[in-house]
Amino acid sequence: MADWIQVEVVAGTAERQTLVPLRLMAGASVADAIRAADLPHRLPGLAFAVDSAGIFGKRCQSDRLLSDGDRVEVYQPLKADPKVVRRELAEVERSRRKKTS
């Protein structure tokens, strides 16, 4: 008899999230779990790439084998570079301080 594992696949945006519990055959990979979760159907309009995922917050390759209880997280691309945003906010703050001086 085949061994099975239980995993979760999570994905979404700030506005919409989904968690898909799955029962997969032992030896399944991250890519297998993402495909089995059928994310394009569950979250239409979002792009999902099997090479942009992690397990419990740590990025990993799509061919990584899963263990029972793993949580596969599918990441979306950043809308803005955090370094650029911090720099722009600092410039706004400096401008504000100059005006109040």
Give residue-wise pLDDT tens across range 8-55: 999 988 788 899 999 999 999 999 999 999 998 998 888 777 778 999
DSSP secondary structure letter of residue 29? B
Which domain does 37 fall in, by range?
4-100
Number of independent structural domains in the chain: 1
Q: Are 21 and 6 in contact (CB under 8 A)?
A: yes
Strands 58-60 and 4-12, sheet pairing: unpaired
- Alpha-carbon distance 79 to 82, whole Å? 9
Instruction: Phi first, then psi: give them for residue 18, nearest 5 degrees.
Output: -140, 145
What's the pTM? 0.74
CATH of the domain at 33: 3.10.20.30
Using alpha carbons only, how large is the chain's radius of gyration in Å?
Answer: 19
